[in-house]
Protein backbone atom coordinates (compact mmCIF):
# COMPACT_ATOMS: atom_id res chain seq x y z
CA UNK A 1 0.00 0.00 0.00
CA UNK A 2 1.23 3.44 -0.86
CA UNK A 3 0.80 5.99 1.89
CA UNK A 4 -0.73 9.39 1.16
CA UNK A 5 1.27 12.59 1.32
CA UNK A 6 1.65 14.00 4.78
CA UNK A 7 -1.39 15.90 6.05
CA UNK A 8 -0.65 19.03 8.07
CA UNK A 9 -0.01 18.17 11.69
CA UNK A 10 -0.27 14.38 11.40
CA UNK A 11 3.49 13.80 11.26
CA UNK A 12 4.01 16.26 14.12
CA UNK A 13 1.48 14.49 16.36
CA UNK A 14 2.86 11.07 15.48
CA UNK A 15 6.37 12.26 16.37
CA UNK A 16 5.14 13.74 19.66
CA UNK A 17 3.39 10.46 20.47
CA UNK A 18 6.57 8.48 19.83
CA UNK A 19 8.67 10.90 21.90
CA UNK A 20 6.22 10.80 24.80
CA UNK A 21 6.19 7.00 24.71
CA UNK A 22 10.00 6.98 24.83
CA UNK A 23 10.03 9.40 27.79
CA UNK A 24 7.54 7.23 29.68
CA UNK A 25 9.49 4.07 28.93
CA UNK A 26 12.71 5.73 30.14
CA UNK A 27 11.03 6.83 33.38
CA UNK A 28 9.11 3.63 33.99
CA UNK A 29 10.05 0.90 36.37
CA UNK A 30 7.78 -1.88 37.57
CA UNK A 31 6.81 0.15 40.64
CA UNK A 32 5.93 3.30 38.69
CA UNK A 33 2.90 1.93 36.84
CA UNK A 34 -0.35 2.71 38.61
CA UNK A 35 -3.52 1.00 37.38
CA UNK A 36 -4.68 4.28 35.81
CA UNK A 37 -1.35 4.91 34.05
CA UNK A 38 -1.25 1.33 32.81
CA UNK A 39 -4.80 1.49 31.49
CA UNK A 40 -4.08 4.84 29.80
CA UNK A 41 -1.00 3.41 28.08
CA UNK A 42 -2.95 0.38 26.87
CA UNK A 43 -5.74 2.70 25.65
CA UNK A 44 -3.16 4.69 23.68
CA UNK A 45 -1.87 1.51 22.05
CA UNK A 46 -5.44 0.49 21.16
CA UNK A 47 -6.22 3.93 19.75
CA UNK A 48 -3.12 3.98 17.56
CA UNK A 49 -3.80 0.41 16.43
CA UNK A 50 -7.33 1.38 15.40
CA UNK A 51 -6.11 4.49 13.57
CA UNK A 52 -3.45 2.57 11.66
CA UNK A 53 -5.91 -0.21 10.84
CA UNK A 54 -7.79 2.31 8.72
CA UNK A 55 -4.89 2.13 6.25
CA UNK A 56 -6.40 -1.04 4.85
CA UNK A 57 -7.45 -4.60 5.53
CA UNK A 58 -3.91 -5.99 5.28
CA UNK A 59 -2.66 -3.51 7.87
CA UNK A 60 -5.67 -4.20 10.08
CA UNK A 61 -4.98 -7.94 9.88
CA UNK A 62 -1.32 -7.39 10.70
CA UNK A 63 -2.27 -5.36 13.79
CA UNK A 64 -4.89 -7.81 15.09
CA UNK A 65 -2.38 -9.43 17.48
CA UNK A 66 -1.73 -6.03 19.06
CA UNK A 67 -5.38 -5.69 20.10
CA UNK A 68 -5.36 -9.24 21.43
CA UNK A 69 -2.18 -8.47 23.39
CA UNK A 70 -3.59 -5.35 25.04
CA UNK A 71 -6.77 -7.24 25.94
CA UNK A 72 -4.70 -10.04 27.46
CA UNK A 73 -2.48 -7.55 29.31
CA UNK A 74 -5.56 -5.93 30.88
CA UNK A 75 -6.80 -9.34 31.93
CA UNK A 76 -3.43 -10.32 33.42
CA UNK A 77 -3.20 -7.04 35.34
CA UNK A 78 -6.77 -7.09 36.61
CA UNK A 79 -7.74 -4.05 34.56
CA UNK A 80 -10.47 -5.94 32.71
CA UNK A 81 -13.68 -5.43 34.68
CA UNK A 82 -15.14 -8.64 33.29
CA UNK A 83 -12.52 -11.06 34.61
CA UNK A 84 -10.33 -11.31 37.72
CA UNK A 85 -6.56 -10.98 37.47
CA UNK A 86 -4.59 -14.12 36.78
CA UNK A 87 -2.33 -15.28 39.59
CA UNK A 88 1.33 -14.25 39.22
Number of domains in the chain: 1
Separation of alpha carbons 88 and 76, rounded Å: 8
With respect to residue 64, please indicate whether it lies within any of the assigned structural domains. Answer: yes
pLDDT of residue 18: 93
Could you tell me the residue range of the domain that residue 76 belongs to?
Answer: 49-80
With respect to residue 57, please indicate whether it lies within any of the assigned structural domains. Answer: yes
**58 burial level (CB within 10 Å; 0-12, 13-18, 19+):** exposed
With respect to residue 74, please indicate whether it lies within any of the assigned structural domains. Answer: yes
If one counts every other C-beta atom within 10 angstroms of the C-beta of residue 83, the result is 11
With respect to residue 44, please indicate whether it lies within any of the assigned structural domains. Answer: no
Residue-wise pLDDT for 31-47, tens only, equals 888 999 999 999 999 99
Mean pLDDT, all residues of the chain: 87
Q: For 9, left (φ over 0), alpha (ψ -120 to 50), or beta?
A: left
Amino acid sequence: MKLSPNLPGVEHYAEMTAENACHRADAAGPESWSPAATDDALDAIDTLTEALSALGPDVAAALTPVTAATTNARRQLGLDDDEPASPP
